[in-house]
Every structure is written in C-alpha cells, then in structure tokens.
Amino acid sequence: MFYRILIIRFMEESDKKLTRKISPYKIIYPVIIGLGVVSYMLYREFDLTAFEQISFGWSSVFWLSVAVMCMFIRDLGYVIRIRVLSGDRLSWIKSIRIIFLWEFTSAVTPSAIGGTSLAILFVNKEGIKVGRSSAIVMATSFLDELYFILMFPIILLCVDSSGLWEMSGVSSGVSKSLIWFAVGGYSIKLVYLLILSYGLFKNPRGLKYLLMKCFKLKLLRKWRHSANEAGSDIIRNSYELRHMPFSFWLKTFGATFFSWTARYWVVNAILMAFFVLKDTDWATQFLIFARQLIMWIMMLISPTPGGSGFAEFVFKEYLGSFIIGGGAGVAIAMAIVWRLITYYPYLFVGVFIVPKWIGQHFGGRPKPSTASTPSDDLNHNLENQ
C-alpha cells in the first residue's frame, strides 16, 4: 500500500523530477557496486588450480542456452500475466515494454523497494486508467508474494534442514546470519501479503480507515492526502478482484508459478554448463533450486540496487558448497555468469527503452485517455463513496 502512496506523490511531481527517478544513467550504481564486490572477492579468493577444473564444450553451450531459455520463460510468464490482468487491453508489445521497464526499475532500486512503486505509472501510460492500473499492479504483487509464502514452507517440508542451512567450510555464525536474513525476508512478505489480502478481499474500508489513522501522525501527515487516495484505490480494486472468476486466478497464478520457477532453474543450468557440480542427481538439483528460492527471500533485505554485491556474496557462501573442490573463486565466477544472465540484461535493455519511453510519454502532449468502460464508471462511483 505504501508504494501506492508513493506513486501518487510521483504523479503530482513535475515531469522533469519524475523522469529523473527512472533515468537510465542510474545503471552505473548497481554496476559499480556489483563489480566492486566481485573484484574484492576474487582478489581474496582467487585460486588458479580451482579454475583449472572448469571445462567448456558443446554441452556447455547447450546448458547456457537452457539458462537463457529459463529467463525467456520467466519473462513470457510475466507478459502473459499482465495481459490477462488487463483483460487483454494491453497488446503484446505494450506488455513486453511494461515488463522490461518494470525490471529495469527493479534493477536500479533497492530490493525492498523494487520496481513496483513505478509500475502503476508504466501501465497507466500505456493506455490503462489509473484505477485499473493500480488493480493490475496490486494483483501482481499479491500473486508474487503468494508464490513465496506457499513455496517457502513447502521447501522446508521437502528438504532436510541440514541440507538447507549447513554449508561446508562456512562458520556457524555465517549460517545463522543467512537463516535470519531468510526469516526476516519471509516475515516481511507474510505481513505484507496478510495486510494486502485483508484489504483487497475482506475489509477494504476498514483498511482505509486504519491507513488514515496512521497518517494522522505528525511524521506522516504530509502524505495524508496520498494515503486517502491509496485507500480509495484499495476499495475500488477490492470490488474488481473479488468478482474475478476462478479461471482468472488460475491463469494468473499459473503464469506466476512458471515465471519464478523458471528463474530458479537458471543456476542449475549454469553449473551444469561448466561441469563444476559435485553431484548431478535430482536430489542435488532440487536442493540447489530450494536454496535459490531462499536466497531470493534473503535479498529482500538488501539495501543495494537490485541486490548488487549482496547477491554475489550470498551466491558464493550459499551455493559454493555444491561446486567441485568448494573453490570460492569458481563460485564467484559462476555468480558473475548468473548475474550476466539474470540481472545485467535488464539494465542494458533499459538504457535503450527508457529514453524512448520517456520521450514518447513526457516529451510532448499527453496521450488521450482510453475510452471509459462500464467497469471504469463503476470503479469511479465506488471511489467517491
């Protein structure tokens, strides 16, 4: 909900200030942080004999292609989901553009913030009314958090705790700190999902009332008007989302499930590509998948843009034990390849997409709003109640 309050503040700002928030030049910060941390770790951990164990062949090309295909499936799932959520009002091109804009802002902002705070703006500027845009973004946020909330306990039930948390060559202090990172990230997601679910599906007016009470505090008073608008959005979105058929939620959660699951198989493919895995059986593959999911929950705590630096460090500590010889240098090298496939492409694609998008939507006269629909009229009436 707080991201909704922020986006209202963004929309009230001048175009110049707004475009600075999504400037493609911001890629320099996560790149510097990520490369700086990796360089330091390589300097400390470099081991030539460990690197000599890496081999590359045609099967490496195949497995790297599988890794790239997993990311393609991940993005395709996101595109399908946002089209379904929009009722097919967004074209395939617009949906793809929104997803890449969204991923770019996620890559240049701290993991705890992500690209959600500007996602409503992206959807709105592609021709969807603000109310519908906020409903789409709230639904995507709900589905993403639901995936993690469901998968985390399933992982804990299916995988032995020693396999998840114990790491050879790593002190118990580091292991405990990673556990607390995971618990902290999961707790944040759980609280957020419970509040969002209560507001969207149970008592939207009650949640708006609670918001207004909170924003009476002197520290938050300047955002009170924005909080009121956010509360109105929750009421409107609640009506839309509660009346969606089961097939709608099945499609959207199915797309969410395939998107995130495909992303977590990327590391498996990378490790297979360079023949650095100690074991290649299915139990090991699933354990690597499980650790990646937990690693992603840990990254929610990271204060750096896109988890830069922190992601590479956790990769080395948390997944390095699966690598032949346990070489930290090799683990760092694998972390670099992982980030090259899953993170940096969104930074560099954003450099080309963002300036053109800003010029199209903020460089001239604003595009006319899409025609009002009965659903939009109903939403407008609900908002004014």
Contact between residue 41 and residue 313 where contact means Cβ atoms under 8 Å apart: yes
Integer Cα distance of 18 and 11 in angstroms: 8
Structural element, H or E, at residue 295: helix 282-299
pLDDT number for residue 127? 87
CA distance 271 to 265: 10
pTM: 0.77
Q: Which pLDDT band, with edges at 50, 70 and 90, does 210 fall under?
A: confident
Please give the average per-residue pLDDT across 312-331, as a whole number: 69
Q: How far is residue 199's CA from residue 201's CA, in Å, rounded to a whole number?
A: 6
Which two three-digit tokens encode residue 369? 């709003």
DSSP helix/strand/coil, 305: strand
Angle at 120 between CA 119 and CA 126, to 5 degrees: 90
Q: Other C-beta atoms within 10 Å of 309: how many? A: 22
Q: What residues contact 169, with CB distance under 8 A and at least 6 apart?
A: 320, 321, 326
Q: Which long-range contacts (CB under 8 A, 24 or more apart) does 9-18 make?
A: 9/223, 9/226, 10/117, 10/118, 10/121, 11/121, 15/362, 18/121, 18/362
348 CB burial (10 A radius; 0-12, 13-18, 19+): middle
Tokens 């996560």 correspond to: 30
- The C-alpha atoms of residue 138 and residue 125 are separated, in whole angstroms, by 17
pLDDT, tens digit (0-9, with 9 covering 90-100), for 263-308: 989 988 988 887 656 566 788 888 888 888 887 777 766 666 656 6
Domain extent for 212: 2-383
Percent of the chain with pLDDT over 90: 16
Query: What was the pLDDT predicted at 162?
Result: 72
Work out how many domains the chain is built from and give that number. 1
Neighbours of 164 (CB within 10 A): 19
Per-residue pLDDT at 378: 38
Residues 326 and 162: their CA atoms lie apart, in Å, by: 17
What would the DSSP string read from start to end of 312-381? HHHHHHHHGGGBGGG-HHHHHHHHHHHHHHHTHHHHHHHHHHHHHHHHHHHSSSPPPPPPP-HHHHHHHH
Query: What's the average model confidence in pLDDT over 177-181?
Result: 76
Of 208-212, 282-286, 368-372, the range with the highest mean pLDDT is: 282-286
Q: Which two tokens stand for residue 105?
A: 């802002």
pLDDT tens digits, 102-152: 888 887 776 555 566 678 888 888 888 877 787 888 889 889 999 999 998
Q: Convert the pLDDT of each residue in 49-85 to its tens digit.
A: 555 666 777 888 899 999 999 999 999 999 999 999 9
**Distance (Å, rounded) from C-alpha 127 to C-alpha 360?**
13
Q: CA 95 to CA 89: how far, in whole Å?
A: 10
